């Protein structure tokens, strides 16, 4: 075996044994979507070069959640989570959770016809972290998982949309912009 082939085999074996295969994007991660990228670029304004995002569609495709990270989006309590509906080729906000930590889950329980979201709550003065359900009020998802109507939950059934170990994609300026 050549030295190069041995190095490749070793790297592959180490990657598999350390869980590198588990680092793949979540199954709900949408492909690059020009409409979503345009929406996020507009939202990020001057923070394009420091913004990373992780996006996931709900299984029915009705909703997209976007976890924004970077200095403009994160504080001691977590980062910003956008909850979006797709309207044609554009997106419309139906919620913005200001202090969220991944993992982000879609719960089985519903509020006003939409499934609740779950986020981790920690930091920002909260010593022992916990998971909180974030309900929909008929128009928007609650903005703060630390106060009502959001509520602490344990072992609620649901599925993970965004894992805590996902690094996110860089959000960069459009090619025709400086």
Contact 41, 33 (CB under 8 A): no
3-state DSSP of 140-153: CECCCCCCCCCEEE
Q: How far apart are CA 141 and CA 56, in angstroms?
A: 16
Q: Record the tokens describing residue 77, joined without a space.
A: 């309590």
Domain ranges of the chain: 29-170
Cα 154 to Cα 118, 119, 124, 131, distances in angstroms: 10, 12, 21, 7
pTM for the predicted model, two decimal places: 0.80
Q: What CATH number has the domain spanning 29-170?
A: 2.40.128
pLDDT digits (tens, 9 = 90+) for 74-114: 999 999 999 999 887 789 999 999 999 999 999 999 999 99
In this prediction, what percent of the chain has a pLDDT beyond 90? 65
């Amino acid at each position: 075996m050549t030295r190069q082939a041995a190095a490749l085999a070793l790297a592959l074996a180490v990657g598999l044994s350390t869980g590198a295969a588990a680092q793949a994007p979540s199954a709900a991660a949408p492909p690059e979507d020009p409409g979503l990228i345009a929406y996020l670029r507009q939202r990020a304004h001057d923070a394009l070069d420091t913004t990373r995002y992780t996006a996931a569609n709900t299984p029915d495709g009705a909703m997209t959640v976007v976890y924004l990270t970077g200095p403009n989006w994160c504080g001691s309590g977590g980062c910003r989570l956008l909850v979006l509906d797709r309207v044609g080729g554009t997106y419309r906000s139906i919620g913005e959770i200001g202090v969220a930590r991944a993992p982000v889950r879609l719960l089985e329980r519903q509020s006003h016809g939409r499934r609740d979201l779950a986020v981790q709550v920690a930091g920002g003065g909260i010593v022992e972290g916990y998971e909180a359900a974030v309900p929909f009020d008929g128009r928007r998802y609650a903005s703060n998982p630390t106060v009502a109507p959001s509520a602490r939950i344990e072992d609620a059934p649901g599925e993970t949309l965004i894992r805590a170990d996902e690094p996110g994609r860089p959000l960069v300026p459009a090619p025709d912009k400086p």
